[in-house]
Amino acid sequence: MGCLAVLEGQGHVTNPGQYIAELAAYFVSEGGQFIQANVLDIQKINGVVSHIDTDLGRFDCRKAVITAGIWSKDLMKMIDLNVPMEAERGYHVIFENPSELPRNPMLMTEGKFGVNPMEMGLRCAGTVEFGDHRSGPSVDPIAYIRKHSQRAFPSLQYSGTQEWMGSRPSTPDSLPLIGELGQSGIFTGFGHQHVGLTAGPKTGRLIAQLISDNSPNIDMSPYSPGRYAVGTTKPGS
């Protein structure tokens, strides 16, 4: 017997890439400057950030915010953090020009995957695979999603498919690192595991408040990057 539970008041993004591009465009329209460069090193003078070295040259700064998802793992070595963060890799298959498209996102219990109506087609997504973020995708998770999508939509017709793998940046205590690392002027905003798209705006606001010396009205201590700082006393120790 089938069973359906409805969660009301949900929202979903039908084109995440465009969503982020439009946020960046808005930032620029408000006077911000967007520079796409590869960060090579983060330099400090007397323990305070002084400049960032990139493949486009050096950028002097008094504050820096690290929000590089799982790649923050690589940047951590430059900023005295030691988080055993791992990638929970997830996959999706998009069926282009599908003959059927649900009006709302659905979570399928059989196969445990999500079904989302997107601008680019029907997206079936899920799976959790611990793996190195620098390694290429595995074959089995995609085959798994395809198999269960076929079961859920046995008559589905489509013009083509797109496959994708992403890395959810996950910490041992499942909490992100949000805050200033000591008094270094370096702020962290990463480790949001399965909910980074949703939690990102709130994290952005919290970091903006911290940088502008407005205390957030929540207890920030559980998120402190200091709990993973190298060479300092960790909370509770």
Q: What does the binding site for ligand FAD look like in residue numbers (CB under 6 A)?
A: 38-39, 67-71, 90, 92, 125, 166, 168, 190, 192, 194-198, 200
Residue 69 or residue 121: which is nearer to ligand FAD going by CB? 69
Q: How far is the CB of 116 from ligand FAD (least distance, A)?
A: 8
SS3 per residue for the chain: CCCCCCCCCCCCCCCHHHHHHHHHHHHHHCCCCCCCCCEEEEEEECCEEEEEEECCEEEECCCEEECCHHHHHHHHCCCCECCCCEEEEEEEEEEECCCCCCCCCEEECCCCEEEEEECCEEEEEEEEEEECCCCCCCCHHHHHHHHHHHHHCCCCCCCEEEEEEEEEEECCCCCCEEEECCCCCEEEEECCHHHHHHHHHHHHHHHHHHHCCCCCCCCCHHHCHHHHECCCCCCCC
Q: How far is the CB of 155 from ligand FAD (least distance, A)?
A: 25
Q: How far is the CB of 200 from ligand FAD (least distance, A)?
A: 6
Q: How far is the CB of 17 from ligand FAD (least distance, A)?
A: 10
Residue 38 or residue 217: which is nearer to ligand FAD going by CB? 38
β-partners of residue 180 are: 187
Phi and psi (nearest 5°) for 181? Answer: -85, 100
User: In the complex, which residue's CB is closest to ligand FAD?
Assistant: 196
Residue 129 or residue 220: which is nearer to ligand FAD going by CB? 129
Q: How distant is the alpha carbon of residue 234 from its chain centre?
A: 25
Q: How far is the CB of 150 from ligand FAD (least distance, A)?
A: 19
Q: How far is the CB of 233 from ligand FAD (least distance, A)?
A: 28
Residue 146 or residue 194: which is nearer to ligand FAD going by CB? 194
Residue 157 or residue 174: which is nearer to ligand FAD going by CB? 174
Residue 90 or residue 225: which is nearer to ligand FAD going by CB? 90
